[in-house]
A and B are shown apart, each in its own frame.
Chain A
């Protein structure tokens, strides 16, 4: 030791010049992708400046907020009976729409999955359907259906049903592609038909993940139902829009509170169902998941204390004691015993059926509309064609679309910066203390609980109509999602490099920058593009509630019965969304 200690620290001797190391070859595609990323970043900064969010203004709007809340007075609620009826209607509409989407998604998913598709052409067509369904916002669909049908729940159900196919069918297909092919081969080897191979070999494997997908989508659709109200779909959202339009802020906020509570309750319910039916611990997406996970853990602990699990043995169980001495006979086993699993499965199954039936009944659907609507289609369809921008200059519309894209870019940038900070503190391997981690996670969960639309509406009420409100609403709402995704990605990185850096004496920040972030970069790029993708759609929708951009013109055109303009605007949105989607797919491929 002493010898070592006495040895003087050698100054870094100049190393022999290294013969030019072979340069790493960079593919032109990677260069192009990197340049695109930089361009997007610059565009986001420019967009952020153009949206003109400055602290002074925000401080001023804070005094606005105080004034606003004194003016609102108390938050009001509608009479209880009416409230319950509206709540039931909203839930019924959302559930019916989601179930419709799930049913439609099954054939699309089977055609889109590489292992069940009859051919590449079918697969391409099915994938295109999912992309298209995702690209057309449900609000746009709702506008069209509101024109086609007499008022009622049907436009909302169909809009939710068709739009949700985009996400549900894609996730269904992903689940099919991940199954173990073995059981299916076994059915094939036993002489089963293709359909039997699917129902006996594939379906039982994908069912749990399918149920989880549908429940997750149902949560999303409940949030989205608020904005459907703004285009005339019945339910809580429409009543809230009426209240705000008649400047009855107290009542409007009352509805907003009800919707917020409903969203949280729904998340708790769907988490419980997922946990109970699938027997898996939810990995956490929101407030509900946390509550359920904690309860489940406590239950598991108790069960572990009560009965130490007997290991499975290969031998047929030897008769234990005289009571169990008689081996069961085929006749005795003919009826499936009502054990806990069966009782649970049957209860949940019938509960699910009851909920769906109730949901459909409560919507009071005018089924005759489905028949009579076809006679109206040609007349309405003619009005939608050709696309035009009506009395507006094309340049005005393009500028409005640009404004929407700017809102999305600016919001994504703000979200990204905030999420990297909050997400890092929420990651177990980065947070300095457990308290910091729990606090950050709680913050993310709290943000997730508030539907963006409500955030936007409140911000609009506070700061006035304009792009700032929309940008802030998207940016804040996005932190809940992106922060969580980043925190999870950071926690998933391999711990080895982090330990290695820490062992060399690197500081906490250096470990984060040198080991955690580089390993999480790929996920970061992927998640950020997902965020941008979502934000473009959301920015359109927020325009409808008054947050600026193309959505405002869309609502105007639809309410002014200027259907040619609706078509023109929808096509413009569609092209933009598809471009971003294509960009995101390219990035995911290049930075794999």
Chain B
């Protein structure tokens, strides 16, 4: 949980990214850079631009202005094979897991290796023995080896997210992006999944950028917290020594109207101390 002792190279760098979808501005001159081996958590309200920021890192979105550099390559304007090669080095974990429900767990994991092979694959046998062995090893890593040949939709939410992590590991990535990986899970599964991501990041030397909306989880698992509001970066500090109240200011400062107060309440599930304080001011 301590930041790396010696400053490592920067592997992800977003400089002055602005992204417009029609009239709405999703990202507004946001700059973030992440060093190798860091675990960075993005915090912010729904619609603050967390997902859009993550999607820029592996080129699922192209910025309206600004530049994105990942692993020494400029992502902006990258296309075709070069873009696919970059993406194959970046794992992506989704809120809704995004497994194919009717396929076996193992085959879902193996789809992570598609960028390493040519042409389409359908059926376990089509991936080859070596890939299957590696897929099983990845499943063992996430503790689901004995589920390898079950259909993916027979697993619980937490298990499915662990399969998705195994699928990302199958890419042998250098960077792991996670978009609200525990938002659809119960508290116990959330802890398990976050612990797993942290463990793997340390073991494999992965750089992790993860968006969350639980402040407590962010404080316990992140090296650094980046706060987003209205598409701009409003906080960028190491977690060490950071208090919950300080983090809550990401939300606190925006709570100037009843609407936003309620939005926070919704976001946090329960009225928290910060929200109550500002709530009083509002009322």
Interface positions of A (Cβ within 8 A of B):
180, 182-183, 185-193, 195-196, 198-201, 203-205, 207-208, 312-314, 316-317, 327-330, 333-334, 336-337, 339, 341-342
Count of interface residues, chain B, beta-carbon cutoff 8 Å: 57
Cβ–Cβ contact B146 & A330, under 8 A? no
Binds A, one of B28-36, B87-95, B256-264: B87-95
When A312-B155, A336-B124 are in contact, do A183 and B149 touch as well, CB less than 8 Å? no
The 5 closest A-B pairs by CB, nearest first: A191-B115, A191-B88, A182-B98, A199-B120, A191-B87
Docked pose: A185 CA to B100 CA in angstroms: 11
A405 and B88 alpha carbons, distance in the complex (Å): 59
* Docked CA distance A314–B163 (Å): 12
A330 to B106, CA, bound (A): 12
Confirm or deny: B194 has a beta carbon within 8 angstroms of a beta carbon on chain A.
no
Residue B86 interfacial (CB < 8 Å): yes
Q: Which residues of A contact B2 (CB under 8 A)?
A: none
**CB < 8 Å neighbour of A190 from B111, B124, B145, B149:** B111
Contacts A330-B136, A333-B145; A192 near B100 (Cβ below 8 A): no
Cβ A334 vs Cβ B133 within 8 A:
yes
Specify the chain A residue showing the minimal Cβ separation from B171.
A190
Asked if B100 contacts A328 (CB within 8 A), the reply is no
CB interface residues, B 92-135, toward A, < 8 Å: 92, 94, 96-103, 111-112, 114-115, 119-122, 124, 129, 132-133
B→A interface (CB under 8 Å): 58, 60, 83-92, 94, 96-103, 111-112, 114-115, 119-122, 124, 129, 132-133, 136-137, 140, 143-146, 148-149, 151, 154-159, 164, 167-168, 171, 186, 188-189, 192
Known contacts A189-B60, A191-B84; is A339 also within 8 Å of B149 by CB? yes
What are 12 A-B contacts defined by CB distance under 8 Å? A182-B97, A190-B91, A190-B111, A190-B112, A191-B89, A200-B120, A201-B111, A312-B154, A314-B156, A330-B140, A334-B132, A342-B149
Chain A residue, CB-CB nearest to B185:
A314
Q: A191-B114, A192-B84 are in contact. Are A317 and B100 (CB under 8 A)?
A: no
Taking the closest CB of chain B, its distance from the CB of A194, in whole angstroms, is: 10
Q: Chain A nearest CB: distance from B47 CB in Å?
A: 20
Q: A200-B114, A314-B158 are in contact. Are A327 and B189 (CB under 8 A)?
A: no
A314 and B159 contact, CB distance less than 8 A: yes
B114 touches A207 (CB 8 A): no
Q: Are B60 and A192 in contact (CB under 8 A)?
A: no
In the complex, the answer to whether A189 meets B92 with C-beta atoms within 8 Å is: yes
Minimum Cβ distance to chain A for residue B79 (Å): 12
Q: Are A191 and B171 in contact (CB under 8 A)?
A: yes
B172 nearest CB across to chain A (Å)? 11
CB pair A186–B111 under 8 Å, yes or no, is yes
Query: Which of A208, A337, A339 is in CB contact (< 8 Å) with B102?
Result: A208
Point out which of B86, B88, B154, B186 has the most chain A C-beta atoms below 10 A from its C-beta: B88
User: Could you say which residues of chain B place their CB within 8 Å of the CB of A199?
Assistant: 120-122
B-chain residues with CB within 8 Å of residue A198 when the two chains form the complex = 120
Is B102 within 8 A of A190, CB to CB?
no
Q: Report Cα–Cα, A312/B154, bound state, in Å.
A: 8
